[in-house]
């Protein structure tokens, strides 16, 4: 027998078994009571705290292997768990447990002239596949969000976090068992075989209803290319702050600093500053960035604001730095700012700072991004900050889910029609 064929056949059997089990569990979990789902999540949080030592031990094992493989320090930091991060993970699961249950909620209801009552009711999507990279806490977040939204989930973590993800996954399983919910509602692909990802994306369409990639650009692009089922994912956040002529200088300074530097590695971090030519405080804002240790790369006019501003190239306008670097350009108007954003942006999050309500309204209407803000930092681009609870990412798609993807965005709906014998004329 050809060993390669054998391996593929084994992988296919393994993955199909996961898919079948997930589909069966999805039917049960879709109709589980809110109390049962909350109980499972609460028990999972308890298990995470109880097994803290095992989780940290598993993580040390992953870190050791990662160091041997020469992973970058940024990668190692993403992989690292400590007591604080484990506690945050447990609390995150509890937060999801305490969210309002989205399933069965009627989001609209109306009665037709013929007496039919039509109700649009939230239902789960079915089986969700989540493919993620090094952060092991995604195991807990994604598992909990899918359970809360009544979906079964197949988790596929990065090879570098195998042991950590497995240890966390076992806590979720313990939670399901404590609430007498099916084990297969949350499954972790048990093989490191890289072909499993391809199989999940393209050969399990009869079991999987949605794929959510959570990771860097190359992962998301691969998923988009290969997936034969719907995908929710964001490519990147090339976010802009536009400081209008009528902006308050102090507010502009505070918002720009926060938008860029509060955390420069998140997708809601500002990557380009657009300064209106008529804004008097451009130099103040740019100096504040430079003084805070941020590199500024400007066009010719932005360079005139401070001698420390380096020259931007065309490439800078399209770059998501995820670092303490910002591109800066001087524009003539709201419209030119909106044009720049349309040309170079990624339709994620953009903010205008101005005291002129009419200019703000024009900007908010003209810019077609998932999130547009007036007089607030782009770093508010976050499901928690929106009051939606935990999220699985920010979608820059326009289809199905846009912006923060929380429990509601992991649902579909059906129409329940109540009659008294109506037939159609």
Q: Which residues bind a copy of itself (CB under 8 A)?
A: 30-31, 110, 112, 116, 118, 123, 125-126, 209-210, 230, 248, 251, 254-255, 257-259, 262, 364-366, 368-377, 379-380, 382, 385-387, 398-400, 402-403, 412-424
- Distance (Å) of CA 391 to CA 253, 368, 377, 383: 29, 22, 19, 5
Interior CA angle at 170 toward 180 and 160, to 5°?
150
CB 330 within 8 A of CB 302: yes
Q: How far is the CB of 173 from a copy of itself (least distance, A)?
A: 25
Nearest distance in Å: CB 422, a copy of itself: 4
- Compare residues 134 and 349 and give the one whose CB is closer to a copy of itself: 349
CB closer to a copy of itself, 71 vs 413: 413
- Residue pair 230/343 in contact (Cβ under 8 Å)? The answer is no
As a whole number of Å, the end-to-end CA separation of the chain is 65
Q: How many residues does the chain have?
A: 425
Q: Rank residues 187 and 377 by Cβ distance to a copy of itself and give the closer one.
A: 377
The CB-of-222 to a copy of itself minimum distance in angstroms stands at 14
Shortest CB 104 distance to a copy of itself, Å: 8
Which residue's CB is nearer to a copy of itself, number 12 or number 380? 380
Q: Which residue, 146, 355, 327, 137, is CA-closest to 241?
A: 327
Q: What is the DSSP letter of 67?
A: H
Q: Between 118 and 324, whose beta carbon lies closer to a copy of itself?
A: 118
As measured in angstroms, the least distance from the Cβ of 132 to a copy of itself is 21
- In angstroms, give the least distance from the CB of 421 to a copy of itself: 4
The Cα–Cα gap between 407 and 144 comes to 9
Q: Tell me the closest approach of the beta carbon of residue 81 to a copy of itself, in angstroms.
A: 24
Sheet strands (E) in 51-162: 106-111, 117-124, 127-132, 152-156
If the CB atoms of residues 199 and 363 are measured against a copy of itself, the closer one turns out to be 363
Instruction: State the nearest-atom distance from the C-beta of 397 to a copy of itself, in Å.
Output: 8
**Angle, CA of 236, 238 and 243, to the nearest 5°:** 155
**Which CB, 159 or 386, lies closer to a copy of itself?**
386
Q: How many Å is the Cα radius of gyration of the chain?
A: 24
User: With respect to a copy of itself, which residue has the nearer C-beta, 269 or 274?
Assistant: 269
Token couple for 30:
């879709």
C-alpha pair distances (Å), 134 with each of 160, 249, 297: 6, 40, 31
Residue 319's CB is within 10 A of a number of other CB atoms, namely: 18
- Beta strands 117-124 and 106-111 are antiparallel
């Amino acid at each position: 027998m050809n060993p390669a064929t054998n391996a593929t056949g084994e992988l296919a059997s393994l993955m199909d078994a996961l898919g079948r089990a997930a589909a069966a569990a999805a039917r049960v979990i879709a109709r589980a009571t809110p109390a049962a789902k909350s109980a499972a999540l609460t028990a999972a949080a308890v298990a995470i705290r109880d097994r803290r030592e095992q989780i940290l031990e598993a993580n040390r094992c992953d870190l050791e292997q990662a160091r041997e493989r020469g992973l970058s320090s940024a990668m190692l930091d993403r992989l690292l768990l400590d007591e604080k991060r484990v506690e945050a993970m447990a609390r995150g699961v509890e937060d999801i447990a305490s969210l309002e249950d989205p399933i069965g909620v009627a989001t609209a209801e109306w009665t037709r002239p013929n007496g039919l009552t039509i109700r649009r009711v939230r239902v789960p999507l079915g089986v969700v596949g989540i493919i993620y990279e090094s952060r092991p806490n995604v195991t807990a977040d994604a598992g909990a969000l899918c359970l809360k939204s009544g979906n079964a989930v197949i988790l596929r973590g990065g090879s570098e976090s195998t042991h950590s993800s497995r240890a966390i996954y076992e806590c979720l399983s313990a939670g399901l068992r404590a609430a007498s919910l099916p084990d297969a509602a949350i499954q972790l692909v048990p093989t490191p075989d890289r072909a499993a990802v391809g199989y999940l994306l393209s050969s399990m369409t009869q079991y999987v209803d949605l794929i959510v990639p959570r990771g860097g650009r190359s992962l998301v692009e691969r998923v988009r290319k290969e997936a034969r089922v719907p995908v929710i994912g964001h490519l990147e956040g090339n976010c802009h702050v536009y400081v209008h002529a009528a902006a308050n200088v102090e507010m502009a300074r505070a918002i720009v600093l926060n938008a860029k530097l509060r955390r420069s590695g998140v997708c809601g971090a500002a990557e380009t500053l657009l300064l209106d030519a008529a804004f008097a405080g451009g130099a103040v804002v740019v100096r504040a960035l430079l003084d805070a240790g941020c590199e500024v790369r400007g066009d010719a006019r932005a360079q005139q604001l401070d001698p420390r501003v380096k020259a931007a190239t065309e490439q800078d306008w399209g770059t998501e730095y995820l670092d303490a670097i910002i591109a800066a350009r001087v524009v003539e108007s709201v419209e030119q700012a909106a044009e720049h954003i349309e040309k170079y942006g990624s339709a994620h999050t953009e903010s205008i700072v101005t005291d002129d309500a009419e200019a703000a309204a024009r900007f908010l209407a003209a810019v077609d991004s998932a999130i547009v803000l007036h007089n607030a930092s782009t770093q508010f681009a976050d499901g928690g900050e929106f009051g939606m609870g935990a999220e699985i990412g920010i979608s820059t798609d326009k289809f199905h889910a846009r912006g923060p993807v929380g429990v509601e965005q992991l649902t579909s709906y059906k129409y329940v029609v109540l009659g008294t014998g109506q037939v159609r004329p």
